[in-house]
């Protein structure tokens, strides 16, 4: 679901520029506020948080109520969560640290019904618990489920051409932070050598006719990506943005003499 009543994939196909954010505060109110702020999608982060499944479901329901596309970042090691998350109504799954085609295929298998994948079939929220025709729902899911592979290491970048050949991988999301670690320069995401590798990632993705999602750290970064026709952006993590907003709010009053 989304605010334009068309699927996330169709919005990309129609040429829209879409803005998202990592959602690391386990609150449906936070999700509502992100929707009201104007984000097109959120990525609930289960890689760097300790959310419970009930917390995540309440966040998914809040996103759906606000017509906000919702993804969840799930490591392959926690693949048992993928099926119930999809059944709960998420737009797609973001898989971090994809490093080869075998892992990419595993991601597709968890997300898609046969013949593309191996997702288990059951009545879900999205087909109104069996009220809608299940065969039609399977076809709809094939067209609308989004699988995102994060490339966060030199090994993943070296194997990216093979990863991109995997049918069912829709989007490549750059992970410059961990990529910088694998290059021996942790958190130097603006280092020319790191930026060169991220640019290489983009070119490979573009040449494959798949979609690239950037994580711009500065306004000038997003300008450069837009000049290259990138449509998808993740604008950081809500925790740091909330902290900065509170800090700026407090300082505005403290600075008055």
Q: Which tens digits make up the pLDDT trace of 125-182?
A: 999 999 999 999 999 999 999 999 999 999 999 999 999 999 999 999 999 999 999 9
Is there a domain that residue 1 lies in?
no
pLDDT band, very low/low/confident/very high, at 55 (cuts 50, 70, 90) = very high
The average pLDDT across 206-235 equals 97
pLDDT band, very low/low/confident/very high, at 5 (cuts 50, 70, 90) = low
CATH classification at residue 140: 3.20.20.60
Is there a domain that residue 3 lies in?
no
| Contacts of 44 by beta carbon, 8 Å cutoff, 6+ apart | 23, 51, 56, 59, 60, 70, 71, 72, 73
Is there a domain that residue 47 lies in?
yes
Catalytic residue chosen out of the listed positions 4, 14, 48, 80: 48
Question: What percentage of the chain has pLDDT greater than the value 70?
Answer: 98
Is there a domain that residue 209 lies in?
yes
CA distances from 45 to 16, 75, 175 (A): 24, 10, 14
Whether the CB-CB separation of 173 and 151 falls below 8 Å is answered with yes
Q: How many domains does the chain fold into?
A: 1
Q: Residue 159: give the domain boundaries.
A: 8-254
Is there a domain that residue 156 lies in?
yes
Catalytic annotation present for 246: no
- Residue recorded with tokens 């997003």: 222
Is there a domain that residue 2 lies in?
no
């Amino acid at each position: 679901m989304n605010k334009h009543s068309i699927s996330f994939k169709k919005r990309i196909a129609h040429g829209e520029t879409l803005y998202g954010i990592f959602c690391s505060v386990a609150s449906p109110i936070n999700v509502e506020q992100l929707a009201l702020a104007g984000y097109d999608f959120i990525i609930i982060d289960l890689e760097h948080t300790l959310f419970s499944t009930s917390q995540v479901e309440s966040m998914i329901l809040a996103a759906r109520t606000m017509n906000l596309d919702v993804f969840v970042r799930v490591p392959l090691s926690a693949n048992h969560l993928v099926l119930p998350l999809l059944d709960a109504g998420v737009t797609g799954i973001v898989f971090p640290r994809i490093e080869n085609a075998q892992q990419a295929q595993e991601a597709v298998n968890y997300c898609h019904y046969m013949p593309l994948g191996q997702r288990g079939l059951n009545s879900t929220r999205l087909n109104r618990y069996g009220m809608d025709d299940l065969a039609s729902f399977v076809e709809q899911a094939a067209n609308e489920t989004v699988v995102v592979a994060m490339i966060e290491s030199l090994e993943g970048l070296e194997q990216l051409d093979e990863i991109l050949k995997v049918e069912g991988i829709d989007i490549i999301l750059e992970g410059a932070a961990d990529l910088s670690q694998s290059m021996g320069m942790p958190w130097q995401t603006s280092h020319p050598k790191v930026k060169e590798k991220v640019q290489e990632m983009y070119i490979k993705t573009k040449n494959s006719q798949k979609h690239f999602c950037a994580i711009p750290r500065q306004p000038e970064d997003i300008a450069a990506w837009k000049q290259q026709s990138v449509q998808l952006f993740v604008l950081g993590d809500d925790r740091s943005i909330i902290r900065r907003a509170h800090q700026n709010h407090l300082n505005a009053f403290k600075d008055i003499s």
